[in-house]
């Protein structure tokens, strides 16, 4: 099938590459010329396990990349996978979605065949019908008989994106007519996941409700963890016992420094905003974010209890990515911690296996090291912010610290004497 994917970021790039792995003829449309260059050369601009190998396998064969939208005029399906970042009031910024829809519509003018426009970005319910559809119809001058519309949310996890995309738990296809929904079903032929067919707004809401529920599980576990710590109870033992209940499930119950990333904080905020616009007061969702915002700074309280003021002290932050196996730092809990440490006058030094270049853009003046040992040498305290598997092996490097005071926000270390955020 001839597919265009608009947006070559985390979701668009992974989707496009995986669609070519499924045998389709794919063109990625990306406005950032640096990303276009990198993809064309077979070098993914982001890190994801297995992505570089698949890109090299398909680049310039059945995967092409372009800054322009010409390929839309001969495509059978166009996926829109551009960003939907938070606005200052927490609502979703839909300007990229609208701009992409207009560009798609203009190029559909020259497409002689039936084509389906599918929203893959996470968008508030109603966006496909109220923004995408009219923008495409007006710009193309065509009717809804000639263009189909659908919504196909993406559930991949960064750090495991290729694996998730090719082995999803479910595929949700929201469409208002069976013709467009069936065509999306054909794109995923070869995958074994169950396909859920819904209306467009339900598909949009399934994505928000899923992310809000996962975020709630994390904040719930963190709150239980905070209580357990005061009582001297091991929250990991507790959550193991809780998670074995099949009604609850074992995942997303790891207490720690809270969730970051490009999805959970922004999607919960957008859902809160949507609820408020509709006269609701989403008490639970607001609390989920409140717990999450307070959680990382509890690590600094623990550090100060142990070493006194952090002013003038050398504090090593291990882990900058919002989770392991990615270089993405969007809404990483490390950002909040570094910001507060700097405000308090600490000398922050940092290490991460992949995310240093991105963090340098936010904090150009802190010192970065290419090894754990470099960051720990002479430090008066250490905060562990990301669950990188390699951190579980850190041991003798801690001997290099001036004072061995270690607080972990993710349960990864095996060293004796380490204090956990909620254990
Ligand atoms: N990152 C995730 O883990 C994840 C998972 C599921 C869903 N989502 C959702 O998918 C969407 C995309 O997220 P992302 O993380 O891939 O964002 P991203 O910022 O990494 O990528 C978006 C890309 O779109 C490009 N772009 C913007 N406007 C464009 C246009 N008019 N034409 C062509 N390209 C354009 C940008 O240059 C950028 O490369 C968001 O709605 C997000 O909530 C993300």
The tens-digit pLDDT sequence of the chain (423 residues) is 999 999 999 999 999 999 999 999 999 999 999 999 999 999 999 999 999 999 999 999 999 999 999 999 999 999 999 999 999 999 999 999 999 999 999 999 999 999 999 999 999 999 999 999 999 999 999 999 999 999 999 999 999 999 999 999 999 999 989 999 999 999 999 999 999 999 999 999 999 999 999 999 999 999 999 999 999 999 999 999 999 999 999 999 999 999 999 999 999 999 999 999 999 999 999 999 999 999 999 999 999 999 999 999 999 999 999 999 999 999 999 999 999 999 999 999 999 999 999 999 999 999 999 999 999 999 999 999 999 999 999 999 999 999 999 999 999 999 999 999 999
Q: Whose alpha carbon is nearest atom 11 of ligand 1?
A: 121
DSSP class of residue 130?
I
DSSP class of residue 413?
-
List the one residue out of 418, 421, 344 whose CA is nearest residue 376.
418
Query: 87 CA to middle of ligand 1, Å?
Result: 15
Dist. CA 155–CA 159, nearest whole Å = 13
**What local confidence, expressed as pLDDT, does residue 63 receive?**
98
Q: Whose alpha carbon is nearest atom 18 of ligand 1?
A: 9
- Contact of 267 with 86, CB cutoff 8 Å: no
Sorted by sequence, the CB contacts under 8 Å of residue 48 that are 6+ apart come out as 10, 14, 158, 159, 161, 162, 325, 326
32 lines ligand 1 (CB under 6 A): yes
Dist. CA 68–CA 91, nearest whole Å = 29
- Contact of 54 with 90, CB cutoff 8 Å: no
- Spell out a b/e string for 214-226, using b for 16 or more CB atoms within 10 Å of the CB, else e: bbbbbbbbbbbbb
Query: 372 CA to middle of ligand 1, Å?
Result: 32
Dist. CA 79–CA 148, nearest whole Å = 12
Dist. CA 101–CA 8, nearest whole Å = 15
List the one residue out of 234, 215, 214 whose CA is nearest residue 224.
234
102 lines ligand 1 (CB under 6 A): no
156 lines ligand 1 (CB under 6 A): yes
313 lines ligand 1 (CB under 6 A): no
Query: 291 CA to middle of ligand 1, Å?
Result: 27
Query: 121 CA to middle of ligand 1, Å?
Result: 7
Residue 263 alpha carbon, nearest atom of ligand 1: 43
List the one residue out of 48, 133, 93 whose CA is nearest residue 17.
48
Half-sphere exposure of 250 (CA within 13 A, CB side): 5
Residue 35 alpha carbon, nearest atom of ligand 1: 39
Cα 321 from chain centre = 11
User: Could you count the other beta carbons within 10 Å of the beta carbon of residue 283?
Assistant: 9
80 lines ligand 1 (CB under 6 A): no
* Torsion over CA: 294, 253, 259, 196 (sign): negative
What is the value of pTM for the model shown? 0.95
* Residue from 6, 8, 12 whose mutation best tests the ligand 1 pocket (most atoms within 8 A of CB): 12
Residue 155 alpha carbon, nearest atom of ligand 1: 6
Query: 301 CA to middle of ligand 1, Å?
Result: 36
**What local confidence, expressed as pLDDT, does residue 378 receive?**
98
262 lines ligand 1 (CB under 6 A): yes
54 lines ligand 1 (CB under 6 A): no
- Contact of 350 with 316, CB cutoff 8 Å: yes
From residue 206, give the alpha-carbon distance in Å to each of 68, 261, 282: 32, 19, 17
Active site residues: 263
**What local confidence, expressed as pLDDT, does residue 394 receive?**
96
């Amino acid at each position: 099938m001839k597919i265009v994917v608009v947006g070559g970021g985390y979701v668009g790039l992974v989707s496009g590459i995986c669609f070519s792995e499924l045998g389709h003829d794919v063109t990625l449309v990306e406005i950032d010329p640096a990303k276009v260059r990198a993809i064309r050369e077979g070098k993914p601009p982001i890190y994801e396990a297995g992505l570089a190998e698949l890109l090299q396998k398909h680049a310039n064969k059945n995967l092409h990349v372009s800054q322009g939208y010409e390929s839309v005029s001969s495509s059978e399906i166009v996926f829109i996978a551009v960003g939907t970042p938070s606005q200052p009031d927490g609502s979703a910024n839909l300007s990229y979605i609208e701009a992409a829809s207009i560009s798609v519509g203009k190029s559909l003018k020259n497409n002689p065949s039936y084509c389906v426009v599918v929203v893959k970005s996470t968008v508030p319910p109603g966006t496909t019908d109220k923004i995408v559809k009219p923008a495409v119809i007006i710009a193309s001058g065509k009717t809804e008989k000639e263009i189909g519309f659908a919504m196909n949310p993406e559930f991949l996890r960064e750090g495991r994106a290729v694996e998730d995309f090719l082995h999803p738990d479910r595929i949700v296809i929201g469409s208002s007519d069976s013709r467009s929904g069936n065509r999306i079903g054909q794109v995923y032929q070869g995958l074994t996941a169950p396909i859920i067919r819904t209306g467009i707004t339900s598909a949009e809401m399934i994505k928000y409700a899923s992310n809000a529920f996962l975020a709630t599980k994390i904040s719930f576990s963190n709150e239980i963890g905070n209580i357990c710590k005061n009582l001297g109870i091991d929250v990991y033992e507790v959550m193991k016992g809780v998670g074995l209940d099949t009604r609850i499930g074992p995942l997303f119950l790891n207490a720690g420094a809270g969730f970051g990333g490009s999805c959970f904080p922004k999607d919960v905020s957008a859902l809160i905003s949507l609820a408020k616009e509709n006269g609701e007061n989403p008490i639970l969702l607001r609390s989920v974010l409140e717990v999450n915002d307070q959680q990382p700074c509890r690590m600094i309280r623990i550090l100060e209890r142990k070493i006194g003021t952090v002013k003038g002290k050398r504090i090593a932050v291990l882990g900058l990515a919002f989770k392991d196996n990615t270089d993405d730092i969007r809404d990483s809990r490390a950002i909040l911690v570094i910001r507060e440490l700097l405000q308090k006058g600490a000398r922050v030094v940092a290490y991460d296996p992949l995310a240093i270049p991105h963090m340098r853009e936010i904090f150009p003046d802190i010192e970065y090291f290419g090894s754990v040992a470099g960051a720990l040498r002479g430090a008066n305290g250490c905060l562990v912010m990301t669950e990188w598997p390699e951190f579980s092996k850190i041991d003798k490097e801690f001997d290099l610290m001036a004072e061995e005071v270690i607080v972990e926000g993710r349960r990864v270390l095996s060293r004796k004497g380490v204090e956990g955020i909620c254990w």
